[in-house]
Amino acid sequence: MARRRERIGIAAAAVVVAASVFTLHVVARTSGMALAAFPFATTLVLVCGAPGSPPSSSRAIVGGHMICGVVALCGHHLWPVSELATAGMVGVALALMMALRCFHPPAGITPLIAAQFQPDWSFLLWPVLTGALLAAFLARCLEAIPLFRRSGDTAPAPRSIASAPAPDAGRFQK
């Protein structure tokens, strides 16, 4: 029975991601920024495939996309568009996502997209913030549906290594 439920969940995730990406593609194409759909298409695949994973959290989705968008726009306004500058921006964005605990891999392509379009600051509202908020909303909706949860997804999130006490810490205290 659990195996059947998991297969139905996988099929449902495939349908949801296909419908979401189709809608995203149509909206992006009609807005003249079809390439801007790429990070959100991969976000939707991640959200539908692993709705309870840390990179699928609202903080990671919205924070990661916004960090990458801001880094991309700042970088392209400060330096001429080049492969080296764009690569540097991806590195800076990755470091900031990790430092701020907003790691969301699909957002990392945003500096490349900004290099292609050279957009103005409204790029942060559409498509970056709008797409991130919609993807985060979809992620929360999927987490609420038991069909999308796998048996391993119900376990509590592990504590970070930094916050966990040392294994023998109590032994050496007096």
What one-character DSSP code corresponds to residue 16? Answer: H
Q: What percent of the chain has pLDDT over 90?
A: 41
User: In the predicted model, what is the mean pLDDT of residues 128-136?
Assistant: 91
Closest CA to 93 of 72, 124, 77: 72
Structure confidence at residue 132 as a pLDDT band (50, 70, 90): very high
Q: Output DSSP code: residue 50.
A: -
What's the pLDDT score for residue 172?
Answer: 40
pLDDT at 141: 85
| Whole-Å CA distances, 42 to 3, 18, 78, 141 | 26, 11, 28, 18
> Coil, strand or helix: which one is 132?
helix
Q: Which residue has the tokens 């970056």?
A: 128
Give the Cα separation of 46 and 105 in Å (integer). Answer: 9
Average pLDDT along the chain = 83
The pLDDT value given to residue 149: 64
Give the tens place of pLDDT for each residue, 43-97: 988 988 888 899 999 999 999 999 999 999 999 999 999 999 999 999 999 999 9
85-104 confidence digits (pLDDT tens): 999 999 999 999 999 999 99
The total of other beta-carbon atoms located within 10 Å of residue 103's CB is 20
